Structure 1
Amino acid sequence: MSRLAQLLARIAAARAGLPSPPVDPPRPTILFTGPAGPINASPYLLTVTLSDSSNVARVDFFKGTLQIGQALSAPYTCPAPLTYLDNGEVRFRAVVIDLDGQPREVSFRIDVAIGEPDTTSPVPVLHVSATNFTADGTLTLTCAASDNTGVTSLVLTRTSGGQAPLPLTIAPDGTFSETITRASNGTHVYTLTAFDAAGNPGSTSVTVTVAIPQPAGTLGLSAFPLSLTSPGTVALGAVPSLPSGVTIRYIDFYQGTETPENYIRREGAAPYEATSNLLSAANSGTVKFIAVATDSLGRQLRSEINVAVNITGETPPPAPNPALYVEPDYSSITWEPPLVITDAYLNSLGITPLASGPDAGRYHLDGGPGGRFIRNTVKGDCAIWVNTTRPLLLTRFTASGPAGSGTGRAAIGNGKYGAPLGNSVAVDVIIRDSSVITPGLELLDGQRAGGILFGYAKNVIVENCNLNGTSILAAQSCWGGGTFRAERNRFRNIDGRYRDRSSPNGFSLAGANTGWALVQAVQLDKVRGVPGISIKDNWITNEPGLSRVEDNINTYKSGGTADSPLMIDRNIIDGAYDTVPSNIHSGSAVVMGDEGGEHTTAQRNTAVRTSNTGISMSSMNHGKILDNRIGQTGFAPDGSRVDQNGQNIDVGIYARNYASNFVMDKATNLVGGNLAAWGAPLSGQPNRRLDFGFSSNATEGPTPNTSYAGVVTEALLDGWIADHLALWAAEGVVVGRRVS
């Protein structure tokens, strides 16, 4: 009750003669205090002191209008929170509520000057001497940090292989070092964390990878003999010494330098041996041999040895035939872009049909005395697109490019320019005194050399051309009076291998379809019932390690007529090897018919060193194999067997039926007058022979066949080739591109 109310009540009681009502005790004094300002810390303690608290229910505390606390009994205090946002004058209030609910308020003001809080994290800096280790060494970490208020501590940890972080001790100079060995292999994360006085952390990390392989071994290389005074080969042997757990994948041997052209062979199992190429007077001096071993970890070991060569008195090589064209070095050629030969192109040059001579009526496109060099680098395109239906004579051109994958797509072909794959032009073409050469090591990986390829053509004749690494193929062609002739062409190292820069010789060593395609020097595909077909006086040479031909000549489902059979006549065919000559090889010199041909004669050919078989007729009738020389030793030039298994070497001449639903008529097929010396050596049987195997599907005659009586030697085979060359010379036959 208020003082006024109490006074009025007492007056009223006196007038009425009643006792006076009780008087409330006097109100307590209130003292509301806090520490003197200015205030620079929080919290700020507020205190209310009462002279008498017996009638006090509670005390409420306020900062401005915001209640910040309450006290229900003594001591009446409240810690007031302050921040730098309160800086300046702050009014605190205390409201004392008595038991009757009557409030009394007191207040005071204070100055606040609290600094802003530090929320900035330190910036640590962690330098590492190396992030990758492949050999033993020392890892040094340099630790530092900066902060706006100062750094109080640095903590360095290492986390390895998913384990808990390991604390590391930082030296007084701010560094940490540890030794790295093979035992450290793995991935390690080093984390540096810096703290400031406010407890703010800042972290940075570096990752260090340790992959130290087992120590490399050594490779020894021996050679015998160490000196040569007469032509011969050198036997090489490599012996690796390796740490435990490491094996050899293979060892590659080279002569001179580690380049594809100097590659000798690869050995994948011990003993690691190889035989050099034949050394002659041209090699006189010091000849270096190199062995490069690749181990199971992909590392290489290298060793080399020198052999002294002092050979004199050899017969110099014959002078080149001045009538023959000499191919320039590929790298020195200035190439033109692809050429599309159309009617419009011939018109633009003012070319009209020849008026006389054996080529009368043909449009003669000539490369000129120096020749024209045309190259394509795009797989599936041609270097020279023959896209005219006019009778064309093409002379003195050189073409080069990768093999395509469509009809008429090659270095020279009749694929239709600008049209989808499968489209071709019905051409009538003679290609004479020209060259098609492989791009060789300039091919892209996965590419192989392109040659001459015509599909659905009317007439295809290739004469006196050089084909280096490439071939001729005519498919489903020669109609309307046309024919096919491949005569007096020089083939060298027909190559179906795909380019592979990861291989030591630059070409794939993998197997069929992956590492190489089936290619022939001359391939007919379903060219049948056509008179006048001639494959004659061609010289084909394939060297081991530089080529990969299947059948040198193959006439798949092709043939001539009864009056004019397909003639394979008087060719020299020397060599057919797998990419690795000691592998099993299914190639040959000649396969006639091949699933259904007819009216084909192979005669007067010299076929040597073709690994699997010589001349054969397969699933055909009216075939003849007459008066040929067929031979091989069964050994590669380095002395290894061309088929180490031995069981795959077939007979020199055979007649077999491989096609279902085809009947070979033995009476129509003749094999006669042939001289065979077909070596098929096995381990322990170096002179084993398999000369003939045709009796079930062909008849011997009209003259008997002969097996060579002596031991088959390389000298014998070279002599046969010399005889053949002498025959050509006597008849004035010039084989290859001529100088004109």
Structure 2
Amino acid sequence: MAQNYSKPIVITKGGTYTGNWESNNADVPAVDIQTSEPVVIINSNIRSAGILIKSWYHNADITIKITNGYGLSPTPYTGSAKTRRFVALNDFKNLVIENCYLEGTAGIGVGDNYRGNGTPDQTIRIRYNLVKNIDGRVYAGTVHSQFVQFNFKGSLPHAEISWNQVINEPNRSLVEDNINIFNSRGTAASPIKIHNNYIQGAYPLFAADSSFSGGGILMDGDGNLKTCTAYVEAYENHLVNLGNYSMGIASGNNIRYHHNRAINAATFEDGEKFLMYTSGFWSLDYYKKGTTFSNSIDNNTIGVMAWEWPDNRRDFSDIKGAIVAENTHITGTITTQHEAAEFGIWQQKLKVNAITLGPVGKNKPFIPF
């Protein structure tokens, strides 16, 4: 349904806001939230050539529900590159994003400092969203972009990234890691939970290229023991047709990957094989900071094709700083039929759990998948 869009809005007071806002200037966010008071955006449509929703250094408390977000064609910018982040948040108390639809955006970035009180009412919850084609292109260039990236200081309890469907199409998207937790941490009593997400597709800008640095879910960070990623639990996720890797640990401790499903035919729909590297699970002390330990990769189901490796398989690559146990390897050649069946498993899971993804009611978008 066609929408009439208003010019960008600057929000300086708490409250509930509904509208259709757009920005055709990469330097100007469509929605700029400049208050620490609770702001709710609901039943809205937002599109931008740069950041869609921005809040920098306002100790934000933001809830976004039943809202559609679209990236417009990038325009020239001044200063640093302006990605089309659906949400770009620095300094925050609380962020809730639920039942939204994102298309052609650069995803969600949360950085700087967590300034909440540690209760369930002041955390991060990203749930029940439909996402199509994370796209890190900017005017005359590219920037690493993710569906979700955490890069903040402070220990955050009660955080959850769950029940999201992310589908990136080859040659129509440019995602780095679909989920990247960088120098960010939960707590021992309440780890960051990443669960029941369906993530399909991670490719270079030209999908047939042989070089690609992105992938599925990554624990990352170059910090020391006080600041590195820690206390994360990722489980019951579906990782499908991902270039480079499915789930990795570049740095971090007290991380558990369990009961996930990594299914990868390493093949495009037209039958062409990936030229880029592919693998399933890995763990390293990549930054050589001595921070990767007390991790577990267990009870996962894995079938990842990797052309030119022995038996054309690469379910695991380097493993340091993690226990690997009780994983199940799918035998034989993984095909695109296996991947299609995985999407069916996901849809059945949604049905059994009575989960509705994306906007509901009058704000439901047309989604061609």
Q: TM-score, normalised by structure 1?
A: 0.45
Matched, 1:541 2:167: yes
1:338 paired with 2:8, answer: yes
The offset of 1:528, in angstroms, is 4.1
Cα distance in structure 2, aligned partners of 1:641 and 1:559: 37
| Corresponding position of 2:317 | 693
Any idea what SS the aligned residue of 2:92 has?
Answer: coil
> Aligned runs of 1:393-542 on 2, under 5 Å?
393-403=40-50, 410-415=51-56, 424-440=57-73, 443-444=74-75, 449-470=84-105, 471-481=107-117, 482-499=122-139, 515-542=141-168
Q: Look up the equivalent residue of 2:321 and give its one-letter code.
A: N
Contact 2:257 2:298 in 1 (8 A): yes
Q: Which segments of 5 or more consecutive residues in structure 2 lack a partner in the other structure?
A: 223-227, 363-369
Partner deviation per Cα, 1:315-365 (whole Å, 9 max, x = no partner)? xxxxxxxxxxxxx4xxx432101111122xx6xxxxxxxxxxxxxxxx332
Report how far residue 392 of structure 1 moved.
1.9
User: Considering only aligned residues, what root-mean-square deviation do their CA atoms show, in Å?
Assistant: 1.9
CA distance in 2, matches of 1:448, 1:600: 27
- 1:581 touches 1:636 (CA, 8 Å); kept in 2? no
- After the TM superposition, which parts of structure 1 deviate over 4 Å for at least 4 consecutive aligned residues? 445-448
2-side partners of 1:630 and 1:706: how far apart?
A: 10
Structure 1 equivalent of residue 180 of structure 2: 554
What is the Cα deviation at residue 498 of structure 1?
3.1
Q: Write out per-residue CA displacement over residues 182-211 of structure 1, whole angstroms, 9 at most, x where no aligned residue.
A: xxxxxxxxxxxxxxxxxxxxxxxxxxxxxx
In 1, Cα distance between the equivalents of 2:333 and 2:182?
34
Give how far 1:732 is off: 0.8
Shift of 1:413: 1.0
Alignment of 1:92-241 (within 5 A): none
Say yes or no: does 1:578 pair with 2:204. Answer: yes
Query: Match of 1:735?
Result: 357
Q: Letter of the aligned partner of 1:432 in structure 2?
A: K
1:738/1:687 Cα in 2 relative to 1: closer, same or farther (>3 Å)? farther
CA distance in 1, matches of 2:261, 2:110: 27
Encode CA deviations 1:204-229: one digit per residue, 9 max, x unaligned: xxxxxxxxxxxxxxxxxxxxxxxxxx
> Is 1:559–1:593's contact at 8 Å kept on the other side of the alignment?
no
Pick closer, same or farther for the CA change 1:499–1:333 going to 2, 3 Å: farther
Mapped to 1, the partners of 2:285 and 2:113 lie a distance apart of 25
Structure 1 residue 477, shift from structure 2 partner: 3.6
Superposition map of 1:260-339 within 5 A: 328=1, 332-339=2-9
* CA distance in 2: counterparts of 1:434 and 1:527, whole angstroms: 28
Instruction: Tell me by how many angstroms 1:686 deviates.
Output: 10
CA 1:413–1:448 in structure 2 vs 1: closer, same or farther (change >3 Å)? closer
Equivalent pair of 2:59/2:115 in contact (CA under 8 Å): no
1:713 equivalenced with 2:335 (yes/no) = yes
Matched residue count: 347
Which residue identity is paired with 2:31?
I
| Residues 1:651 and 2:279 aligned together | yes
Give CA-to-partner distance per residue, 1:665-720, whole Å, 9 cap, x none: 2xx111101111111113xx79601001354320124xx00111121011111111
SS in 1 for 2:131: strand
Aligned residue runs from structure 1 range 2-41, under 5 A = none
Bigger Rg over Cα: 1
Counterpart of 1:620 in structure 2 is 252
Give unpaired runs (5+ residues) of structure 1: 1-327, 347-362, 404-409, 416-423, 501-514
Alignment match of 2:39 (pick from 381, 389, 392): 392
Q: Secondary structure at the match of 1:457?
A: strand
Conserved in 2, the CA contact under 8 Å of 1:608 and 1:631? yes
Displacement of 1:385 in angstroms is: 1.2
**Residue identity opposite 2:128 in structure 1:** R
Q: Distance in 2 between matches of 1:452 and 1:650?
A: 30
Q: Is the 8 A contact 2:114 2:152 kept in 1?
A: no
Letter in structure 2 aligned against 1:333: Q
Counterpart-to-counterpart distance in 2, 1:568 and 1:472: 15
Question: What is the CA distance between 1:637 and its match in structure 2?
Answer: 2.1
> Once the 2 structures are TM-superposed, how far is the Cα of residue 565 of structure 1 from its aligned partner?
0.3
Contact map agreement 1:577 1:585 (CA 8 A) in 2: yes
Change (3 A) 1:622 1:450: closer
- Pick one of 592, 601, 604 that aligns with 2:236: 604
Q: Is the 8 A contact 2:233 2:255 kept in 1?
A: yes
1:108-155 CA-partner distances (Å, limit 9, x unpaired): xxxxxxxxxxxxxxxxxxxxxxxxxxxxxxxxxxxxxxxxxxxxxxxx
Q: Does 1:634 align with 2:262?
A: no
1:364 lines up with 2:6 in the alignment: no
- Shift in CA distance, 717/620, structure 1 to aligned 2, threshold 3 Å: same
Highest relative contact order (Cα 8 Å, sep 6+), 1 or 2? 2
Q: Which residue of 2 aligns with 1:590?
A: 217
Distance in 1 (alpha carbons) for counterparts of 2:208 and 2:172 = 14
Identity %: 24
